[in-house]
Amino acid sequence: MITFTDVENNEYQAQCEIEKTDAVNGEKSLSGTIYFGQDVKANIAKGWTLSFLNEEYVVVTYTKNDKENTVAFSAVQAFFYKMSKTGFYEKWNGSHPLASYLDALFAGTGYTYDNTASVAAFEKQDWGMSDRLSLFNDIIDQANVEFSVEGTVVHVVPAMGSDLSTIVRKKFNLDTAEIQTDNTSFATYGRGYGAYSKPNDTTSKRLEVEYKSPLYDYYYPKFGAIEAIPVADERYTIADNLLTAVKEKVDKSWAISLTLNLVDLQSVGYKYAMAKPGDYITVIDENLNFSDKVRIIKVTSDYDIRGTRTKTEVECGSLSFAEQQKTTQTTLSNVASGKAQIPNEWLTSQVQIATDNLLSARTELKFTDQGIIAIDKLDANKVVIFNSAGVGISTDGGKTFKSAITADGIVAERIFGNLISGVGFKTESKSGYALTLTSGTLRVIKNDREFGSLTATVNSNTGIPNGFAIWNQLGSNFSIDQVGTNGMSLPIFKIPETSTPDNRQYYLYGSLMSPLISKQPGGMWIYNDEKLSVSADGGQNAQFSVKQDKVQVWGDFYVYNGSKNAAQVTRDGVRATPAYELAENYVGDIGESKTGEDKTVRVDIDPLVFDLINTDKPYQVFLTAYSDARFWVSERGKDYFIVSSDSPDSAFGWELKGKRRGFEDQRLVDTKDTYKDLEKMEGLIPNGNQNIQSNS
């Protein structure tokens, strides 16, 4: 994931393909394509920044592609952007040390510098009144130094990089090599003018040198002396030093860059994980007749949406003139001009096999207005046509060409190969649904609308790949289905179109065939906003229900190896009050009363309690005296009982216990559970049957 930041410093996440460029004394820049991250794609604007490989970049351009639902952007390292947007409103003249120029440019910018280059003071005329980046580049060029940026510190050095012993060799650890030339500034002759013999007299004789390159005589008959711009610098007082400067200017006038695609530069001793601009390496490529030390001047790296570097291209420059000359006579030039055959090692085994098959074919060629037509002598239905429109292959005598190569693309009914690679693949149905595979991401699309995708994921903090994810776009369903015998499918798991990042939803259908286990720290939550029910009869009825203010149980309720408690708040914390247990199923009621003048009183059973107990069965009444008298139950009626005392007006308390209706005959009911059943209940009887008491 790449972190983008808007003008108000709000952060957003997106997945992008990135191309990163680093160069000697050049801007660090990015170009990329955003594939995932709706907030970024919809809202990216001026002033946005992003963080990539611990460096801050400023977005300078962006292009939205509605068809592919992507955004292409370019960005530069923050230092170059901020310095180019900050003016220097002074004008300097005369000679000043390098540090004075740097102090003035960096003042108030938030950036500091570290200078390890020894540079004599130099003169500037009308220097200033421009942006700070342009002025900075100007003094860097004149001081003949280089720089790099790390965070908010700019390191000014005599030269970047190191002279390494690393050797890169074709077919050993070099994948491809390409040499480009530019002769627009080509010269064979140069002059240099140094200090005056009398420093304060510009009419006095001046130190002067001239240089002719080894190719001077070769080009002179046709062009004469091809002259370079003179080197004019009064600081040169020694002829050899001035001649060296002129020689370097002439010999490097033919610009050449060597581009390398490295398989693994580090595996042959390169001590850095990434190629560093400024480093010197030795490159050997017999195919190009090239073998010498070159300098890395630019590094371009590609990163996929997982943050994995997929390609690193290294551009080298500063080649000597002798290297340039012999490069023009390479094997590559001879092959291009037809003077030499392609070396066998340039061909893969598959190409060689195809070549052998083509050469062994027995074919009749016809040159017609339609182009060159090849007809198999043994089967006239096999026809190949070649013309300016392309190549076509027919198996029906030329009526149709089901395999063809034209400017519009390649058409084929079947393609065979161990590996088919490319930027993107697409399959499309007649109903309009399409699957596209681009940059390692599989997308489901219909009529330019994307429904979901399968892609790799990375750690948002480290950028390291850590897995893959299946995404459904907002407003679309995602389901895993089971196909029935009638060909129709029903979902087993479904994310509905109403699901959003703030209100994630899913449906889980069917039966769970494995234990439901959670290792979540702190416990496991199962919750609902209104009611939670548990069924053990296939969903026909609920045996257990939780509401906001109550818990309900239908059927018998058993507690193994424990007690049924009510939690009560006391002055010394919350205490458990166990339920009273009986061998039979009773319902009770408690009350108080008082006998009258006739020493008796009738106590009516509460009608609701009467509904709960069966008074046809004997019920029990327990009495407690609250007066100096003796009490007894003199009569037990169906819905009442009478209490008598030996003294009038005597108070007492009573407790009624009657058998619950429907459960009158239950006594110590057998649960049908065995000891082995209990052993399966984790934690109930770990050390034996301690809940069983012996009568022996």
Mean pLDDT of the chain: 80
Task: Say which residue, 657 or 515, is predicted with more confidence.
Answer: 657
Residue 526 counted as domain residue: no
- Are 690 and 628 found together in one domain? yes
Query: Which of 122, 370, 331 is CA-nearest to residue 233?
Result: 122
Domain range holding 27?
Answer: 2-81
Residue 303 counted as domain residue: no
Residue 110 counted as domain residue: yes
CA distance 469 to 306: 12
Q: What is the mean pLDDT of residues 589-603?
A: 96
Task: Say which residue, 609 or 536, is predicted with more confidence.
Answer: 609
Q: How confident is the model at residue 434 (pLDDT cuts 50, 70, 90)?
A: confident
The share of the chain scoring above pLDDT 90, in percent, equals 32
- Are 696 and 591 found together in one domain? yes
Indicate the range of 203-207, 422-426, 440-444 predicted with least confidence: 422-426
Helix ranges, 381-469 (H): none
- Are 671 and 648 found together in one domain? yes
Residue where a domain terminates, one of 127, 157, 187: 157
Residue 591 has pLDDT above 80, yes or no: yes
Task: Say which residue, 659 or 259, is predicted with more confidence.
Answer: 659
CA distance 189 to 217: 10
* pLDDT at position 158: 86
- Are 99 and 116 found together in one domain? yes
- The CATH number that applies at residue 131 is 3.55.50.40
CA distance 5 to 476: 28
The most confident of the ranges 155-169, 557-571, 582-596 is 582-596
| DSSP per-residue letters across 118-167 | ----EEEEEEEEEEHHHHHHHHHHHHT-EEEEETTEEEEESS-S-EEEEE
Phi, psi of 66 (to 5 degrees): -65, -30
* pLDDT at position 318: 47
Residue 61 has pLDDT above 60, yes or no: yes
- Are the beta carbons of 313 and 263 closer than 8 angstroms? no
* pLDDT at position 173: 52
- Are 432 and 479 found together in one domain? yes
- Are 377 and 475 found together in one domain? no
* pLDDT at position 651: 97
- Are 593 and 695 found together in one domain? yes
* pLDDT at position 446: 81
- Are 395 and 428 found together in one domain? no
Indicate the range of 107-116, 264-273, 577-586, 595-604 predicted with least confidence: 264-273
Residue 30 has pLDDT above 70, yes or no: yes
* pLDDT at position 128: 94
CA distance 108 to 560: 76
Paired residues of 613 in beta bridges: 660
Angle, CA 231 vertex, CA 228 and CA 234 arms, to 5°: 170
Task: Say which residue, 691 or 48, is predicted with more confidence.
Answer: 48
**Tokens 């088919």 sit on residue:** 420
> Starting from the edge strand earliest in sequence, which strands make up the sheet with 586-594, in order?
586-594, 651-659, 620-625
* pLDDT at position 631: 97
Phi, psi of 78 (to 5 degrees): -55, -35
**Tokens 């919809």 sit on residue:** 42
H/E segment holding residue 360: helix 349-360
Q: How confident is the model at residue 354 (pLDDT cuts 50, 70, 90)?
A: very low
Residue 417 has pLDDT above 70, yes or no: no
Residue 284 has pLDDT above 80, yes or no: no
Residue 322 has pLDDT above 70, yes or no: no
Residue 407 counted as domain residue: yes
The most confident of the ranges 145-159, 164-178, 265-279, 674-688 is 145-159
Crossing angle of helices 98-106/132-143, nearest 10°?
A: 160
CA distance 634 to 642: 6
Residue 445 counted as domain residue: yes
Q: What is the mean pLDDT of residues 454-475?
A: 84
Distances (CA, A) of 116 to 96, 152, 155, 160, 278: 17, 17, 8, 11, 16
* pLDDT at position 260: 62
Indicate the range of 10-14, 121-125, 429-433, 487-491 predicted with least confidence: 429-433
- Are 591 and 690 found together in one domain? yes
How far from chain centre, in Å, is Cα 233?
54
* pLDDT at position 459: 84
The share of the chain scoring above pLDDT 70, in percent, equals 79
Residue 378 has pLDDT above 50, yes or no: yes
Query: Which of 645, 609, 650, 648 is CA-nearest to residue 630?
Result: 645
Residue 470 has pLDDT above 80, yes or no: yes
Residue 54 counted as domain residue: yes
The most confident of the ranges 38-42, 122-126, 519-523, 675-679 is 38-42
Residue 308 has pLDDT above 50, yes or no: yes
Task: Say which residue, 304 or 316, is predicted with more confidence.
Answer: 304
Task: Say which residue, 493 or 424, is predicted with more confidence.
Answer: 493
- Are 76 and 121 found together in one domain? no
CA distance 239 to 236: 7
* pLDDT at position 368: 66
Residue 308 counted as domain residue: no
- The CATH number that applies at residue 598 is 2.60.40
Residue 49 has pLDDT above 80, yes or no: yes
Residue 296 has pLDDT above 70, yes or no: yes
Indicate the range of 466-470, 613-617, 642-646 predicted with least confidence: 466-470
Q: How many domains does the chain have?
A: 5
- Are 619 and 643 found together in one domain? yes
Distances (CA, A) of 665 to 40, 114, 555, 558, 694: 73, 97, 17, 18, 26
As separate numbers, helices (DSSP H) first and strands (DSSP E) second, the chain gives: 11, 45
* pLDDT at position 510: 79
Helix, strand, coil content of the chain in percent (nearest 5): 15, 45, 40
Task: Say which residue, 420 or 569, is predicted with more confidence.
Answer: 569
Dump strand ranges (E) for 151-289.
Answer: 153-157, 163-169, 174-182, 189-196, 206-212, 231-232, 255-262, 280-285
Q: What is the mean pLDDT of residues 631-655?
A: 96
List Cβ neighbours of 125 (8 Å cut-off, separation of 6 or more). Answer: 93
- Are 372 and 390 found together in one domain? yes
List Cβ neighbours of 391 (8 Å cut-off, separation of 6 or more). Answer: 384, 385, 404, 405, 406
Residue 685 has pLDDT above 70, yes or no: no
How far from chain centre, in Å, is Cα 534?
40
Residue where a domain terminates, one of 112, 138, 157: 157
Residue 466 counted as domain residue: yes
Q: What is the mean pLDDT of residues 38-44?
A: 93
Q: What is the mean pLDDT of residues 132-152?
A: 88
Task: Say which residue, 370 or 151, is predicted with more confidence.
Answer: 151
Residue where a domain terminates, one of 382, 411, 440: 411
Q: What's at 255, amino acid-wise?
A: A
CA distance 199 to 26: 37
